[in-house]
Chain A
């Protein structure tokens, strides 16, 4: 069996885990990250990517609100290429309590969030597609954050600074010697083999799966999972975040995200043993669409691309089961204090956009345990891609000869790293994904540098297959490139193709009607009718 050693093992490649890995690496701590699927494949990749201003929490949870606005300002500096500082609106609909408007303004002032009351006319000029019947509006510094890019940039930086990352590798159990953790036993799913990694400190950053990880160390940490569903609209129906001005509830926010818009979210308690088989329920889709339409009437006319859901854990900190002492904020547990297990730390809760703060808190604790006195630097060292802030216009000029839409999209996704991707060679900027303008060069860069194991991973790094056609035209081209840029045989790449289409179908299935259905039928015809993909499957089994 393969064995490795490090100072710290981080379990979980969500935003939190990747943030901890980077923080450790920047402080010179030797760390290894283990992720059972792909990075950002857990809750991190399943939310609406809102860069909170904190306004959504201001009325009820002041602590979260102040955390948000602080991190909001930091991330805009260190991760600008993962962020769009769109700004956001809180709009009051005729049926909503008009008093909430003033309560929100007041609370924002208290939390230090620059919220401004603006006229309805101004709000409609900022967001012309918004419901024209709104009664009042507030402007807040909301934004959007791309979870895939953010996580990937943290990983890329850590790797470039010497850290090790194992994706598609599952932690089976935590190994203990008396009451001290000594390492983890893992299973590498790609190679089909076990490995052991030894380290005196283990960080459990496995989100809602943290209950299970703790259990393998004999610790009970009860989590109450709550599911939230979202739908994706084919294109941007709004350019700024549109919130409904009321106590947060189902279907009251529409977030623009790159080329699409997302309507969020529902919130439902679910049993812990179902967290790996989540499905979006029909009535959730109904609520999201009908309430979304109240904010932006165009929702009813637009194509719905996909529906998906994520789970957030509510954690019973003190171990009580009745759920009264449940935390909704950041939870950092030193299991030495709580359970007398030395070297194990659990970090959970919080938000995607507070990942850096959570990582800082965790790494401070790690550093203390290791006797490392280096200070946290993540608040000022930019992520790869965000080193220099250069506008579109300049980049488009620099790469003149390549279509603006291609340069702009690549720069949007990779920031300054666009220089590692684009070149004036014709083949380099030939399109693989036509909806999202992903070039052959970008696929090559991702396969070679960004820990890509299959087309689903490639999608998270590049947006391949995330546009209206959901993989119809790009999937087979991408599959072919895995044999060129990765070490896959043609048979293996066919398998990648099938897995990818299967994954795309899961998200499309709940919303199969109208143009989406027509698109799907056409895709089905291409892959089954034209390429005979069904026959391949038969031959293999």
Chain B
């Protein structure tokens, strides 16, 4: 018997809306959907852990079911927790490597030229497929040639010129794969008249959770709560992130899934577009030059789960001359490391098809989205480049 603390499954009224809304259940009969995998079978697992269904592994943790649920059942959390709480762990090198974004990042950035060269080779892809069960059809994000934190050292001294500070949680992707986004964030925050603080953060834990390394994710979480809270100069200072999944982890996954106490930081964590918009409302408005592009905006699932997609849309609308086509809300299918695994690759691609179709239909100059993995998925499957809203904003700053 487990200690029953998170009992949101008890509020389920069996309306089945979540299953209608689940992108995975829509494309494969292998997955019975969130209602059955979450609240329904949770009652059985409490009775006997052996009643765990293997089909739970198909859940990509996109959290769309939670957005749909009228009863505030933490469906995806229940499913993720069940995966690690009740199943015997079998170690897979692939899952280990995919989930250690920081470890791989350190290595990848050191030898970026070689690593990037190899991950794009057909032969290597074939080996990855056969040995690691990583689909050969998948393209890999490139590693940068230097980390964001290394670059930040060069600008740190200027940050003290600003009286007000913002703590920036950059995340692994910015650090190892795409420092430019981090540079853009610093540019925007500075333009708002605030200095940037960087802490000795660790990976937020999202890939660890997805691959079942809960203990490790908890230790990362505890570390992050500690360094972020001790870096807070006062309780009004914001902790911002430009990654929708990192923000979701800090805010929701820590208390709900990892059962960590994030109360010292929860009120300070804000997704970056919300932070900027709130500054605008206070009269701290950036002067923006017109950008006459047509962009298609895709709202990432995890951003929607936090209810923050509206802020990004509002912010994009503040950029003069920009035409924003808001795409119908669809899951891109990649869900972090999910689309990097052979057994889910097909599902991941079919989930994304609808999104790829409506992007093509919108015929934008490029696509805008807040999430790094959505970016990889869309760039791999459409002919469009994908840009982060903050990079667009940075471009518009005079």
Q: Give me the interface of A with B, judged by CB distance under 8 Å.
A: 126-129, 234-240, 256, 258-259, 298, 301-303, 392-393, 396, 403-405, 408-409, 412, 431, 434-435, 437, 467-469, 472-473, 515, 518-519, 522
Q: Is B238 part of the binding interface, using a Cβ–Cβ cutoff of 8 Å?
A: no
Residues B46 and A128 in contact, CB atoms below 8 Å apart: no
Give the distance to chain A from B36, nearest Cβ to Cβ, in Å: 6
Taken together as a complex, chains A and B put the C-alpha atoms of A235 and B53 apart, in Å, by 18
Top 5 A-B residue pairs of the complex, sorted by shortest distance between their CB atoms: A239-B1, A128-B3, A469-B14, A408-B51, A519-B13
Choice from B4, B40, B54 contacting A237 with Cβ under 8 Å: B4
Residues B13 and A235 in contact, CB atoms below 8 Å apart: no
Residues A403 and B40 in contact, CB atoms below 8 Å apart: no
Taken together as a complex, chains A and B put the C-alpha atoms of A259 and B48 apart, in Å, by 9
- Knowing A259-B43, A259-B44, the reply to whether A234 touches B53 (Cβ < 8 A) is no
Residues A469 and B13 in contact, CB atoms below 8 Å apart: yes
Choice from B1, B4, B36, B47 contacting A258 with Cβ under 8 Å: B47
Taken together as a complex, chains A and B put the C-alpha atoms of A393 and B52 apart, in Å, by 11
Q: Is B50 part of the binding interface, using a Cβ–Cβ cutoff of 8 Å?
A: yes
Residues A522 and B15 in contact, CB atoms below 8 Å apart: yes
Given contacts A129-B4, A235-B43, A404-B54, 10 further A-B contacts (CB under 8 A): A235-B9, A236-B46, A298-B4, A302-B7, A403-B55, A408-B51, A409-B44, A412-B48, A437-B44, A469-B14
Residues on A with C-beta less than 8 A from B13 are 469, 515, 518-519, 522
Q: Is B175 part of the binding interface, using a Cβ–Cβ cutoff of 8 Å?
A: no
Residue of B nearest to A257 (CB): B47
Q: Is B32 part of the binding interface, using a Cβ–Cβ cutoff of 8 Å?
A: yes
Question: Could you give 27 example pairs across A and B, Cβ below 8 Å?
Answer: A126-B1, A128-B1, A235-B7, A235-B10, A238-B1, A258-B47, A301-B10, A302-B7, A303-B10, A392-B51, A393-B50, A396-B50, A404-B51, A405-B51, A405-B53, A408-B50, A408-B51, A412-B48, A434-B14, A435-B14, A437-B44, A469-B13, A472-B14, A515-B10, A515-B13, A519-B13, A522-B15
Residues B15 and A515 in contact, CB atoms below 8 Å apart: no
Choice from B12, B47, B53 contacting A236 with Cβ under 8 Å: B47
Residues on B with C-beta less than 8 A from A467 are 43
Q: Is B2 part of the binding interface, using a Cβ–Cβ cutoff of 8 Å?
A: yes
Residues on A with C-beta less than 8 A from B42 are 235
Residues on B with C-beta less than 8 A from A515 are 10-11, 13, 71
Choice from B1, B51, B53, B55 contacting A129 with Cβ under 8 Å: B1
Residues on A with C-beta less than 8 A from B1 are 126-129, 236, 238-240
Taken together as a complex, chains A and B put the C-alpha atoms of A237 and B2 apart, in Å, by 10
Taken together as a complex, chains A and B put the C-alpha atoms of A539 and B288 apart, in Å, by 69
Q: Give me the interface of B with A, judged by CB distance under 8 Å.
A: 1-4, 7, 9-16, 32, 35-36, 40-44, 46-48, 50-55, 71
Residues A403 and B2 in contact, CB atoms below 8 Å apart: no
Residues B3 and A129 in contact, CB atoms below 8 Å apart: yes
Among B3, B43, B52: residue with most chain A CB under 10 A? B43
Residues B2 and A128 in contact, CB atoms below 8 Å apart: yes
Residues A434 and B36 in contact, CB atoms below 8 Å apart: yes
Give the distance to chain A from B12, nearest Cβ to Cβ, in Å: 7
Residues B71 and A518 in contact, CB atoms below 8 Å apart: yes
Give the distance to chain A from B79, nearest Cβ to Cβ, in Å: 13
Residue of A nearest to B46 (CB): A236
Taken together as a complex, chains A and B put the C-alpha atoms of A301 and B10 apart, in Å, by 9
Residues on B with C-beta less than 8 A from A236 are 1, 43, 46-47
Taken together as a complex, chains A and B put the C-alpha atoms of A326 and B101 apart, in Å, by 75
Residues on A with C-beta less than 8 A from B47 are 236, 239, 256, 258-259
Residues A409 and B51 in contact, CB atoms below 8 Å apart: yes
Residue of A nearest to B3 (CB): A128
Residues B12 and A468 in contact, CB atoms below 8 Å apart: yes
Residue of A nearest to B40 (CB): A434
- Knowing A259-B43, A303-B10, the reply to whether A392 touches B71 (Cβ < 8 A) is no
Taken together as a complex, chains A and B put the C-alpha atoms of A431 and B32 apart, in Å, by 11
Give the distance to chain A from B386, nearest Cβ to Cβ, in Å: 38
Give the distance to chain A from B309, nearest Cβ to Cβ, in Å: 28
Residues on A with C-beta less than 8 A from B15 are 522
Residue of A nearest to B2 (CB): A128
Give the distance to chain A from B270, nearest Cβ to Cβ, in Å: 31
Taken together as a complex, chains A and B put the C-alpha atoms of A272 and B258 apart, in Å, by 56
Residues A405 and B41 in contact, CB atoms below 8 Å apart: yes
Residues B2 and A404 in contact, CB atoms below 8 Å apart: no
Choice from A128, A238, A403, A519 contacting B53 with Cβ under 8 Å: A403
Residues on B with C-beta less than 8 A from A518 are 13, 71
Choice from A234, A239, A392 contacting B50 with Cβ under 8 Å: A392
Give the distance to chain B from A14, nearest Cβ to Cβ, in Å: 27
Give the distance to chain B from A128, nearest Cβ to Cβ, in Å: 4
- Knowing A259-B43, A403-B55, A435-B40, the reply to whether A298 touches B7 (Cβ < 8 A) is yes
Taken together as a complex, chains A and B put the C-alpha atoms of A404 and B43 apart, in Å, by 14
Give the distance to chain B from A485, nearest Cβ to Cβ, in Å: 24
Residues on A with C-beta less than 8 A from B3 are 128-129
Give the distance to chain A from B242, nearest Cβ to Cβ, in Å: 38
Residues on B with C-beta less than 8 A from A469 are 13-14
- Knowing A302-B7, A393-B50, A434-B35, the reply to whether A405 touches B44 (Cβ < 8 A) is yes
Residues B48 and A408 in contact, CB atoms below 8 Å apart: yes
Residues on B with C-beta less than 8 A from A472 are 14
Taken together as a complex, chains A and B put the C-alpha atoms of A522 and B11 apart, in Å, by 13
Taken together as a complex, chains A and B put the C-alpha atoms of A238 and B1 apart, in Å, by 7
Residues A519 and B14 in contact, CB atoms below 8 Å apart: yes
- Knowing A129-B1, A129-B3, A409-B51, the reply to whether A235 touches B11 (Cβ < 8 A) is no
Taken together as a complex, chains A and B put the C-alpha atoms of A435 and B11 apart, in Å, by 13
Residues on A with C-beta less than 8 A from B11 are 303, 515
Taken together as a complex, chains A and B put the C-alpha atoms of A468 and B2 apart, in Å, by 20
Residues on B with C-beta less than 8 A from A129 are 1, 3-4
Give the distance to chain B from A489, nearest Cβ to Cβ, in Å: 29
Residues A235 and B35 in contact, CB atoms below 8 Å apart: no
Residue of B nearest to A240 (CB): B1
Residues on A with C-beta less than 8 A from B71 are 515, 518
Taken together as a complex, chains A and B put the C-alpha atoms of A434 and B40 apart, in Å, by 7
Taken together as a complex, chains A and B put the C-alpha atoms of A472 and B35 apart, in Å, by 14
Taken together as a complex, chains A and B put the C-alpha atoms of A404 and B50 apart, in Å, by 8
Taken together as a complex, chains A and B put the C-alpha atoms of A515 and B47 apart, in Å, by 21
Residues on A with C-beta less than 8 A from B16 are 473
Taken together as a complex, chains A and B put the C-alpha atoms of A259 and B41 apart, in Å, by 10
Residues on B with C-beta less than 8 A from A473 are 14, 16
Residues B44 and A302 in contact, CB atoms below 8 Å apart: no
Residues on B with C-beta less than 8 A from A396 are 50
- Knowing A409-B51, A472-B14, A518-B71, the reply to whether A435 touches B43 (Cβ < 8 A) is yes
Residues on B with C-beta less than 8 A from A435 are 14, 40, 43
Residues on B with C-beta less than 8 A from A437 are 41, 44
Residues on B with C-beta less than 8 A from A259 are 43-44, 47
Residues on B with C-beta less than 8 A from A237 are 4
Taken together as a complex, chains A and B put the C-alpha atoms of A408 and B35 apart, in Å, by 19
Residues on B with C-beta less than 8 A from A258 are 47
Taken together as a complex, chains A and B put the C-alpha atoms of A302 and B4 apart, in Å, by 10
Residues A301 and B14 in contact, CB atoms below 8 Å apart: no
Give the distance to chain A from B1, nearest Cβ to Cβ, in Å: 4
Residues on A with C-beta less than 8 A from B12 are 468
Taken together as a complex, chains A and B put the C-alpha atoms of A392 and B52 apart, in Å, by 12
Residues on B with C-beta less than 8 A from A403 are 32, 53-55
Residues on A with C-beta less than 8 A from B46 are 235-236
Residues on A with C-beta less than 8 A from B53 are 403-405
Taken together as a complex, chains A and B put the C-alpha atoms of A397 and B46 apart, in Å, by 21
Residues on B with C-beta less than 8 A from A240 are 1
Give the distance to chain A from B152, nearest Cβ to Cβ, in Å: 46
Residues on B with C-beta less than 8 A from A408 are 44, 48, 50-51
Residue of B nearest to A391 (CB): B50
Residue of B nearest to A239 (CB): B1
